[in-house]
Amino acid sequence: MKEFKQSVIESLGHYVYCLVDPRDNRIFYIGEGCGNRVFNHAYDALNENLQSLKLDTIRNIISQGMDVEYYIIRHGMTQDVAFIVESVLIDLLTYEPFNLESILTNIQSGHHQWDRGIKTIDEINTLYDCTNIEPYPHDKLILININKTYVTGERGSIYEATRKYWRLNGNRAKLATHVLAVYQGIVRAVFKPTKWYPSEEYPG
């Protein structure tokens, strides 16, 4: 297995890297780290108990007698800056309006993707030209993140995307005076709950 010498590690600092499939020269993973982080995924792939699309891709490459290709995209950064660079690259390669096919195996979005990631001009205007919410002292709020269902229309409406299904403490939920539907850091709707209903089956 590959690894950096200690002298290289000390000079690299935090870096952003990508893993490339040599069969089609496509990037399939973007990451951030320091030391030998870039090589750790290949070690993880040797453990059959660990399962992910990223690790399966690495295993398929190795099974064909080939090696993952590694590229350091930017280095010599602080961790905070590396997080930003990583997030920008993940955003650019996964933003659905101009990525017709999914090429990354990353499970998580980059840091601050929802509040600082790619946005249309209308979304930028909405984000920076909206009024801050100032709840009254007696208000008890529940914020529901609808990032995954608001744009796709998977649940039909903001109301449907907000009202189900969530793992919540029932007693705490009953104390809430308002439920806020939040998409990309912006409150899109406010609901006043009158009753909470348990779901017979949580879908995933």
The edge-to-edge listing of strands for the beta sheet with 186-191 is 141-145, 178-183, 186-191
The DSSP line for 101-132 is S-----SSPPTTHHHHS---HHHHHHHHSSPP
Q: What is the pLDDT of residue 204?
A: 46
- Of 73 and 161, the structure prediction assigns the larger pLDDT to 73
Q: Set out the domains of the chain in order of their start, with CATH numbers.
A: 6-116 (3.40.1440.10), 125-204 (no CATH)
For the record, the structure tokens of 16 come out as 């952003």
Q: What is the pLDDT of residue 191?
A: 92
Q: What is the pLDDT of residues 158-177, one digit of tens each?
A: 888 888 777 778 788 888 89
Cis peptide before 43 (omega within 30 of 0): no
CB 28 within 8 A of CB 94: no
Mean pLDDT of 81-92: 92
pTM value surpassing 0.85? no
Q: What is the pLDDT of residue 110?
A: 58
Distance CA 166, CA 128 (A): 29
